[in-house]
Structure formats: C-alpha cells, structure tokens
C-alpha cells in the first residue's frame, strides 16, 4: 500500500510536466492544425528563463571588504549583488533565493513573445503545407533554438535550486496514518503538481468561460464559419500559440529545481510528450492532460523493484508500449473525437 | 545499358567515377597549405560518406516514393550493426557474411515493425516508428545487455575466436575480405598532395554503387510507380482495386534492409557498435540528409549525406584561432568583430548552421539541393532556348 501511494506521488510530477507540454502541443494542433516539433525547445527555453533571471539577480560587483581578511592577511574581495544595494541585505537575499518562482513573472511575457514571433514569422507560412513539412521545419527550428542556448549557456546542466523554504520533504505517511518516513515527498514536487493543476485549470477556464475562449473554441470547430462572421480568428490563434508557448515555458521554469536544465532537455521531453498527445487523442485537451498524468504514473509504477524483477527494463519502454497498443486498437486516442485524424 | 535509360546510365556513371576518384577529388588542397583542413579525402570520412549515402538512399525509397516519414530508421541500422558484430565475433571475420547477416536481421526486424506501423499513416506512422526505435534503444541500453553490451557496446576482443577465422592467441581479430584488411591503405604522395587509397573505402564504395543502381531500378520500375501512386492518392488506388499495404510494406522492408546494409558496413569498417547508433537523433539525421539533398530524387540523398557528414567532420574542426588567421587581413577590431559573428556557426556550433540550412531548404527549396541545382541550371538554360532538351531525368518529380 505504501509503495503504491509512493509510486502514484512519484508519477505525479513527471506526469505534470508531460501534461503541461502535451496541453500546449494540443492547443497548437487543435487551433492551428500544426504539428509543432519545436515545443520541447520552448519548454527548454522556459527553463533557461529561470537560469537567466537568477543570473541577472545575482549579477554583482566586487568590493574589498576591509573587515575580513584571507589567510595571508589581505583584505577579502567580496561579490556584492546589485540587489543588495537596491533592496538591502535581507530582502536582496530573499529575492535571490526566490529566483525560480520569480522567473514565472519573467517567463510569461518572454515566452508569449517568442511564441507570437514563431507563429507570425515561420509557422504561418506552413498552414497549407503537408504535416511532414511542418514536422520538418519545426524540427529544424528546434535544432536552431537548442544550439543557440547551447552557445550562450554551455552544454553542462546548470543547477538552479528552489527557494530554501521548500528544501525538505513532506511526510505523507504520517498524515495518512502509516509509519513515518515511509512515504516522503519533496515539497517542491508538491508545488510543481499544484502549479501544474492551476495552470491546466486556468487554461481550461480561459477557454470555457471567457468570450475570447469561446471564439477560439468556435474557431477550432469550424474556422471558416468564424471567419465569415467577421471575426479575425487568425489573430486569436496567434495569441493561443503564444499562450501554448507560455504554458510550455512555465512548465520548464518550475521544472528547473527538479532537474538541472541543459540544452537538450526539451528534446528528451518532446518525444515523450508527442506520445502522450497521441495516446490522449490528437486535438483533445482533456485527453492530453489525462494521458500525461496516466503515463507519468504508469512509468513510475513500472520502475518499482517488484515489477522490474518480473519484467526487466519495463520502465524504459512502458510509455512507448502503451502508445503502440493505443494507436493500434483505438487510433483516435483515449479521448479523441471520432473522425479527427483517425487514419 | 544495364537496363537503364541513357540519362540514368550517365548519372550512374558519373557517380561511379566520382566514387572511385573520391580520394583524389576530396583532397584538392596541398598538405602544407592552410586550407588542408578542408580536405575530406581521409579514409574514415570517405567511408562515412558512402555508408550514410547508402542509409539515405534506402530511406529515400520509403520517404521519397511513398511519403511515409519514418522517424525510427536508425533502429534498423543499429540492429544490422549488432547482427554483423555477432557474425564477426562468432563465425568469421570476413565482412561478407557479416554484411549479409546485417541485411537479414534488419530485414526481419523492419518487417515486424513495418507490419504494425503501416496500419497507420501520416503523423501516427512517424510516432509509431519513433516509439519502436526508442524502445529498441532503451532495451539495447538496459535489458538486452548480454546481447548488446549495454552502454559500452560490442567490440571484437582478444577472447573472441570466430569459427572460420584463424586468430592467433591474444591477438585482436580484424575485419577483412578474404584476407584483405579493411584498414589497409595505399598512400601516394604527389608533390605536396597526399592521397590515401583505402581498401575499406573501396569495398563500401562498390557496395554503394550497387545500392545506388538498385535504387535507380526501383525508381524506374512499375513497383516504383506504384509507390508514387501511394503518395499521390491512396484512396484512388484503393478504388482501382489495388491494396497499397503490400507495396508500402515492401518499400519499408527494402529501406530497412538498406539501413541494415549500412549498419553492417559501419561494423565492417570500424569493428564496434553501441546503442547510441539507434537513438532517435540518429534517425533524425537521416531525415535531414534526405530532405537536404532532395527527397524523391535519385542523387539527392547521396548529396545530402555527403554535405552533412562533411559539415560534421570539417566545419566542426574550425576553432577561434583558425578564424582569426583567416580574417587577419582585416583592420584590427573589425576582424575580432567578424570572428565573433562567425564563431557561433562553426566549431562546436556546426549544428546551428545545419539547423539553419535545413530550415532554409524546407522553407524555400522543398526539393532540396537537387532542386536548387536545377533552378540555377534553369537560369543558364533560359539564355539558350534552342537547347530544349530539359534535363529532368535525374529527378523524378514528386507526384503531388
């Protein structure tokens, strides 16, 4: 029982990342009908937004501190972050400590902008080309983005810790009446899950309860009719692309404390997210979210010791295996609409 | 001749001459000159040119003709490599049985994968093949370690005693062709030029010519026409009473066997194999090669693989010092500026150049480099309108 709960919890944070990326992919596919292979790169850029902000915040100048000396007796050189000057010592340290959550505010406009530029500058010209061309050009774009990041930030992972307040782990076992220390779960992963849930809820609420969202949904159902009604649906779809980019970026920002960002993290997630989208059903938003969590949890179950004893290596292939079975038995995916991309 | 039309035969002849003279053609710069680093005429790289050429030619039979975009072709290359490796470890160090084994193993594996994947088309097909390839990679990396050597891969060790080859105790066996070492090279120095004629390269080159010839025959055969019909309109094909599945499956298996052949040759040239050969980026690379050169054309994939392998090996060697040397003639300050601009695109950043070129090709030249060449050729031809013999035969226009 403890083991099962633990595995479900472990699956949640990876599942959250899958769900967020898959949500963005599905948004883009559902609105624009474009298969975006550069979505993983957007996730990665989001993560590097966090890196960038924490670098900006820790930007410092060197002062010679007369009160301290090194072992030779010379005055010590101390790096003074500029934020200390502006906000004082304590607040400054707190700001640096909270760099990752603060990056959310930084990442949203940046990612929206990148998304809009991408759509207007490149993807726009590929609406009428075959899916294969869309895959190829976005694949090329992903390589380019990845290499640009690699050039500026290097090839090594950059550790970006969470605020100190979230350092510890939460003891779920004690709360549920099991032995203490049986089911412990890092605070940051809980935060990640809650954050993902809020974002997903927010996107759904936005689509469901605002006029803008209503128009977008109408456009997803029948683009031409909406156009004939005199609504500039293209502009709304561009904004949706920016939104999808922001969702991927935020997933990346919050993922940095879990996994130090490196330039190819996007590609690693992309392949899996595509599988998630296909399992959930092309174009189905709830399907993408459901499949994301489902596959995340399945993956963590498959990596249990007891399972691996019976079927070694299952954890490595479970997601692909599920995808193959789903595609062959139910091609429209778990929650896909009938007739959408079923061939 | 050889069952080919005049144009095709000329093309084959040109490719054959280029392949045979590659050690000369790829070494245009004297050893002592600063440009010697652009020489690509060393055996290792030339072998890669032709082997990945074979890989791309095979991929093109599937993608160029039927339009099915497989994102997992490297799995067949990897499986073929493992097959060839075991053949060398257990049976004989002769490369011929190893290569035959590679083709057979890859063929069987691609038959299984193709049978399942081809139930779907479009993006689903891409994802299915990708899933199979990633599964093979993950399994080769972990569970199948006894068979694949896991992370370290397989090499020929001194403890390997192939059945039909005599290896002295403690010696590490070397791949050979009836006693001729794959690594045997004949070096010819002509003045300041040094040309290396390598046995392995010529064997791989001859194999590539055969593979190229077969692909021309497939392109021109009724079977090839059928595959183009699959690409242009599958529904209409069904209505005429033809089932597309056997044709696409045959194309899939053929291209899988080409990949296996390439994998076997890779092992024959350099007796080692690791699971990273099956990673999905390797599959992406062959897609890049084919598109870059021109999908659906005969010569395109060969050009594309040559271009990418050249960039990978030559462009990546350029570092800051070399750039400074080149731009030293510029006024001080300006040269630093130019170097700073150029540097991200070369050396370790060569992937950036590759990505940009690839995007450019997909956006502006969907027909790849071949189409680019034809456009440039078209500009010249327009001037002499009397020459109305349009040179279209090297390209089979993708049926859209």
Give dist(CA A42, CA A135) in Å, integer.
15
- Across the interface, do B122 and A341 touch by the CB < 8 Å criterion? yes
- Across the interface, do A131 and B138 touch by the CB < 8 Å criterion? no
pLDDT for the residue numbered B161: 74
DSSP-derived letter for residue B294 is -
Whichever domain contains B57, its CATH number is: 1.10.3470
Instruction: Write the CA distances from B21 to A110, A328, B54, B304, integer angstroms.
Output: 53, 49, 18, 19
Q: How far is B36 from chain A (nearest CA, A)?
A: 27
Which chain A residues in 37-96 lie under 8 Å from chain B, judged by CB atoms?
none
In a domain, B132, yes or no: yes
For B191-255, what is the HEC assignment?
CCEEEEEEHHHHHHHHHHHHHHHHHHHHHHCHHHHHHHHHHHCHHHHHHCCCCHHHHHHHHHHHH
Which of B120, B138, B366 has the CB atom closest to A316's CB atom? B138
In a domain, B368, yes or no: no
- Provide the pLDDT confidence category of residue B352 given band limits of 50, 70 and 90: confident
Q: Residue A74: left if φ>0, alpha if ψ -120 to 50, beta else—which one?
A: beta
pLDDT for the residue numbered B385: 54
Which of A133, A274, A275 has the CB atom closest to B366's CB atom? A133
Strand partners, B186: B197
In a domain, B346, yes or no: no
Number of domains in chain B: 1
Is the C-alpha dihedral spanning A93, A95, A99, A101 positive or negative? positive
| pLDDT tens figures, B184-233 | 788 888 777 888 888 889 999 999 999 999 999 999 999 999 999 998 88
- Count CB pairs under 8 A between chains A and B: 109
In a domain, B122, yes or no: yes
In a domain, B31, yes or no: yes
In a domain, B267, yes or no: yes
**B115 contacts chain A (CB < 8 A):** no
Which of A137, A151, A324 has the CB atom closest to B362's CB atom? A137
Q: How far is B178 from chain A (nearest CA, A)?
A: 40
In a domain, B41, yes or no: yes
Q: How far is B327 from chain A (nearest CA, A)?
A: 22
Q: Is the pLDDT of residue B388 over 70?
A: no
Whether the CB-CB separation of A83 and A57 falls below 8 Å is answered with: yes
Q: Which span out of B123-132, B169-178, B388-397 was modeled with the highest average pLDDT? A: B123-132
Q: Which domain holds residue B128?
A: 6-165+172-279
- Across the interface, do A341 and B284 touch by the CB < 8 Å criterion? no
DSSP-derived letter for residue A129 is S
pLDDT for the residue numbered A339: 58
| pLDDT tens figures, A39-66 | 999 999 999 999 999 888 888 787 777 7
Q: How far is A160 from chain B (nearest CA, A)?
A: 25
First-last CA distance in chain A: 42
**B351 contacts chain A (CB < 8 A):** yes
- Across the interface, do B355 and A151 touch by the CB < 8 Å criterion? no
> Average pLDDT over chain A, rounded to whole?
84
B316 or B221, higher pLDDT: B221
In a domain, B60, yes or no: yes
Q: Is the pLDDT of residue A209 over 50?
A: yes
Length of chain A in residues, anyone? 343
- Across the interface, do A320 and B135 touch by the CB < 8 Å criterion? yes
**A140 contacts chain B (CB < 8 A):** yes
Q: How far is B180 from chain A (nearest CA, A)?
A: 41
Nearest chain A residue to B127, by CA = A275
| pLDDT tens figures, B62-90 | 999 998 989 889 999 999 999 999 998 88
Is the ipTM higher than 0.85? The answer is: no
């Amino acid at each position: 029982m403890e083991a099962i709960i633990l595995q479900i919890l472990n699956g949640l944070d990876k599942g959250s990342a899958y769900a967020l990326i898959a949500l963005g992919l599905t948004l883009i596919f559902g609105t624009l009908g474009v298969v975006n292979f550069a979505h993983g790169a957007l996730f990665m850029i989001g993560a590097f937004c966090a890196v960038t902000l924490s670098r900006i915040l820790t930007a410092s100048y060197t002062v010679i501190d007369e009160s301290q000396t090194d072992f030779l007796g010379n005055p010590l050189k101390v790096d003074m972050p500029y934020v200390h000057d502006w906000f004082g010592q304590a607040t400054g340290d707190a700001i640096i400590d909270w760099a990752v959550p603060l990056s959310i505010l930084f990442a949203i406009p940046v990612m929206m902008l990148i998304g809009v530029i991408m759509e207007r500058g490149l993807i726009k010209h590929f609406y009428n080309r075959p899916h294969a061309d869309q895959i190829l050009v976005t694949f090329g774009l992903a390589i380019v983005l990845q290499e640009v990041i690699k050039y500026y930030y290097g090839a090594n992972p950059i550790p970006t810790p969470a605020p100190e307040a979230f350092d510890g782990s939460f003891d779920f076992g004690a709360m549920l009446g099991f032995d203490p220390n049986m089911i412990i779960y890092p605070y940051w992963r809980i935060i990640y899950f809650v954050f993902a849930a809020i974002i997903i809820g927010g996107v759904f609420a936005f689509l469901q309860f605002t006029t803008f969202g209503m128009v977008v949904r109408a456009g997803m159902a029948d683009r031409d009719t909406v156009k004939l009604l005199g609504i500039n649906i293209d502009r709304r779809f561009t904004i949706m692309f920016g939104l999808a980019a922001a969702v991927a970026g935020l997933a990346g920002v919050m993922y940095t404390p879990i996994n130090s960002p490196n330039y190819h993290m996007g590609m690693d997630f992309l392949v899996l997210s595509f599988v998630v989208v296909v399992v959930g059903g092309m174009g189905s938003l709830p399907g993408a979210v459901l499949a994301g969590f489902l596959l995340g949890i399945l993956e963590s179950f498959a990596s249990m010791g007891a399972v691996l004893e019976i079927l070694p290596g299952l954890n490595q292939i479970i997601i692909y295996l599920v995808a193959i079975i789903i595609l062959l038995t139910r091609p429209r995916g778990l929650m896909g609409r009938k007739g959408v991309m079923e061939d | 001749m050889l069952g080919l039309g005049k144009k095709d035969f000329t093309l084959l002849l040109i490719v054959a001459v280029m392949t045979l003279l590659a050690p000369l053609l790829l070494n245009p710069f004297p050893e002592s000159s600063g440009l010697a680093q652009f020489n690509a005429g060393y055996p290792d790289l030339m072998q890669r040119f032709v082997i990945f050429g074979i890989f791309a030619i095979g991929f093109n039979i599937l993608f160029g003709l039927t339009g099915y975009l497989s994102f997992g072709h490297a799995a067949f290359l990897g499986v073929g490599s493992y097959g060839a490796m075991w053949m060398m470890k257990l049976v004989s160090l002769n490369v011929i049985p190893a290569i035959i084994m590679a083709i057979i193993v890859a063929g069987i594996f691609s038959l299984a994968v193709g049978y399942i994947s081809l139930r779907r088309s479009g993006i689903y097909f891409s994802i299915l093949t990708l899933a199979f390839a990633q599964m093979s990679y993950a399994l080769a990396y972990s569970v199948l370690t006894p068979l694949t050597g896991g992370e370290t891969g397989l090499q020929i060790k001194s403890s390997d005693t192939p059945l039909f080859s005599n290896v002295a105790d403690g010696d590490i066996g070397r791949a050979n062709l009836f006693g001729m070492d794959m690594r045997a090279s004949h070096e010819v120095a002509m003045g300041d030029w040094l040309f290396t004629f390598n046995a392995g390269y010529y064997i791989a080159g001859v194999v590539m010519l055969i593979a190229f010839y077969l692909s021309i025959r497939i392109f021109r055969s009724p079977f090839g026409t059928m595959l183009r019909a699959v690409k242009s309109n599958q529904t209409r094909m069904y209505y005429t009473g033809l089932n597309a599945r056997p044709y696409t499956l045959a194309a899939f298996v053929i291209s899988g066997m080409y990949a296996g052949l390439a994998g076997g040759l890779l092992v024959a040239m350099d007796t080692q194999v690791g699971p990273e050969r099956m990673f999905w980026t390797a599959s992406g690379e062959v897609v890049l090669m084919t598109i870059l050169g021109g999908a659906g054309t005969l010569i395109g994939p060969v050009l594309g693989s040559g271009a990418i392998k050249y960039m990978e090996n030559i462009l990546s060697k350029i570092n800051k010092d070399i750039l400074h040397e080149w731009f030293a003639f510029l006024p001080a300050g300006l040269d630093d500026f130019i170097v700073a601009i150029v540097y991200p695109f070369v050396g370790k950043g060569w992937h950036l150049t590759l990505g940009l070129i690839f995007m450019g090709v997909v956006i502006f030249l969907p027909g790849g480099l071949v189409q680019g060449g034809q456009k440039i050729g078209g500009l010249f031809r327009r001037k002499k309108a009397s020459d109305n013999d349009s040179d279209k035969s090297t390209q089979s226009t993708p049926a859209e």
